[in-house]
Amino acid sequence: MADPDTLQRRGLMFILSSPSGAGKTTIARRLLAEQGAALRLSVSVTTRPMRPGEIDGRDYFFVDRAEFDRMVEADEFMEWAEVFGNCYGTPKAHIRDELKRGEDFLFDIDWQGTQQLYQRAQGDVVRVFLLPPSIEALEARLRGRGTDSDAVIEARMARARAEISHWDAYDYVVINDDVEACFGRVKMILEAERMRRLRQTGLIDFVRELTR
């Protein structure tokens, strides 16, 4: 008897987007911790300075602006965007080959990057957008970090409203009013998308055997 978990499957690109402070990073870290080798984080290239505790190649690939511009000109990114004066991009290298082998990737990118990635890869992309329970709760979370000035928070709130306006460009929208509940919903989406017929490439041969 065939084990459905051993059938060949095409991988997917699982995108999590949200305005800053809506819990995207928390949900992403929990997914990666629970999924282990079954879900890999897509590591972005960035021009922003390395922060304490970050490691080049694990958190980001850190490059200067000249190198980033060279990569853009060489069409080495699946998507890229400039945010608050810093550039971020998803390198093409290995991702496409790994998808064929059934590897799943998690993307922590904004709506602009999501749009670019979807235009390039469509059927391989699953788009999930997290919303805060209210705009007041979002601002409270940002202020609660205690790391940004009022001017930076105001800029982040303005950007958050702009990002929220693109909610309808996503396949799934989840309100993060409770971290546990939100995580459960996101995990269900991932599991269901892995089972979609279009990704179950091994089903063709399996069904052929059944109908002989």
Which pTM was predicted?
0.83
> Residue 104: what pLDDT?
97
Alpha-carbon gap, residue 11 to 104, rounded angstroms: 5
State the helix-helix crossing angle for 179-194 and 24-35, rounded to 10 degrees. 50
pLDDT recorded at residue 3: 65
The domains of the chain are located at 4-42+102-210
What burial class does residue 118 get, using C-beta atoms within 10 Å of its C-beta: 0-12 exposed, 13-18 middle, 19+ buried? buried
Question: Cβ distance 52 to 69 under 8 Å?
Answer: no
Give dist(CA 65, CA 87) in Å, integer.
Answer: 8
**Of 147, 139, 166, the residue nearest 17 (C-alpha):** 166
pLDDT in tens, the chain (212 residues): 566 667 899 999 999 999 988 989 899 999 999 999 999 998 889 999 998 899 998 889 999 999 999 999 999 998 898 988 999 998 887 788 889 999 999 998 889 889 989 999 999 999 999 999 999 999 998 888 777 888 888 888 999 999 999 999 999 999 999 999 999 999 999 999 999 999 999 999 999 999 98
Cα distances (Å, whole numbers) of residue 111 to 89, 108, 182? 13, 10, 19
For 25, the token pair is: 């990073």
What is the per-residue pLDDT for 148?
81
The CATH code that applies to domain 4-42+102-210 is: 3.40.50.300
Q: Please give the pLDDT value at position 68.
A: 97
pLDDT score, position 1 = 54
Cα Rg of the chain (Å, integer): 19
Note the pLDDT of residue 90: 87
